[in-house]
Amino acid sequence: MRVAVIGHVECVEFVRVESVPRPGDIVHALETWDEAAGGGAVAAVQLARLAGACTLFTSFGADELGRRARLQLAEQGVTVRAMADPSPQRRAVVFVDDGGERTITVLGDKLVPSGGDSRLPWQELEDADAAFFVSGDAESVHAARRARILVATSRELRTLRAAAVELDVLVGSGEDEGEVYHAGDLDPPPRIVVTTSGPLGGWVQPGGPFRPASLPVGSRPIRTSPQESRPVPGTRRRRWSHGRPELARTGHVRCLAPDLSGGDRWRGRVDSGGMWFKVG
């Protein structure tokens, strides 16, 4: 299956703590690690593992951190299509507490690909079975629409509204005000809307509610042990001091809906980083 992601990359320092510090608090990290992440990178890595390959259209900073992030993603099986931006690579610091909740501080502007950049091989999307739009400009949404199935995050409603293309699936969190979608927010409206609700599951319109499900057999989280993590090359890797060796994640859910291509069914999975589809 040929899949692609259009989105941004951030170089993130993760800090695992028992609880996020309150104003004025001092807390000790249970573990820290560095990794290329951000919406586009996380979705692309997970899709590469689930589908066997994934192409990421993005933009990197023209600095050493940007070059390291590109290298890490390539080592994780992602085919990178990107140009260097003169701005510094965007960074972030993420606190992950014992409940798996993430608290994020970003540093710098989001670097996104432009659909009007003729240096990028946007024509490759014509052969894609599915594309997931995470971030970019209106022109990149039009480029992504070349794929047979187009999925997008509701966090980019302003961009999607400007693009005014029909989405096959719109995905967002019902617990995040920045991702809440209301009928009429997009014209034309998406064919299917998937709203997640953490450990409760979520609901599909049309379709109804669904409950959380475990990951597919043979797949694995982004990070299951210190040995399996892939920090940005050249950055720091810290050992566990104590605590649990599993990936802190907010929950994975499964949903069923009619096959968008007119076949029998498609099956999808939404998690904190993206969606995958299996047609048939």
- DSSP codes, 56-124: EEEEEESSHHHHHHHHHHHHTTEEEEEEEESSPPPEEEEEE-TT--EEEEEESPPP---TT-TTS-GGG
pLDDT of amino acid 216: 59
Rounded to 10 degrees, what is the CA torsion of 134, 139, 140, 141? 50
pLDDT in tens, the chain (280 residues): 999 999 999 999 999 999 999 999 999 999 999 999 999 999 999 999 999 999 999 999 999 999 999 999 999 999 999 999 999 999 999 999 998 888 999 999 999 999 999 999 999 999 999 999 999 999 999 999 999 999 999 999 999 999 999 999 999 999 888 999 999 999 999 999 999 998 889 999 999 999 887 765 554 444 433 334 444 444 444 332 333 223 323 333 333 333 344 433 333 433 333 333 333 2
**CATH 3.40.1190.20 boundaries in the chain:** 1-19+28-143
Q: Residue 158: is it exposed, middle or buried by C-beta count within 10 angstroms (0-12/13-18/19+)?
A: exposed
pTM, two decimals, is 0.78
pLDDT of amino acid 185: 96
CATH number of this structure's domain 1-19+28-143, picked from the four choices 3.40.190.10, 3.40.1190.20, 3.30.1130.10, 3.55.40.20 = 3.40.1190.20
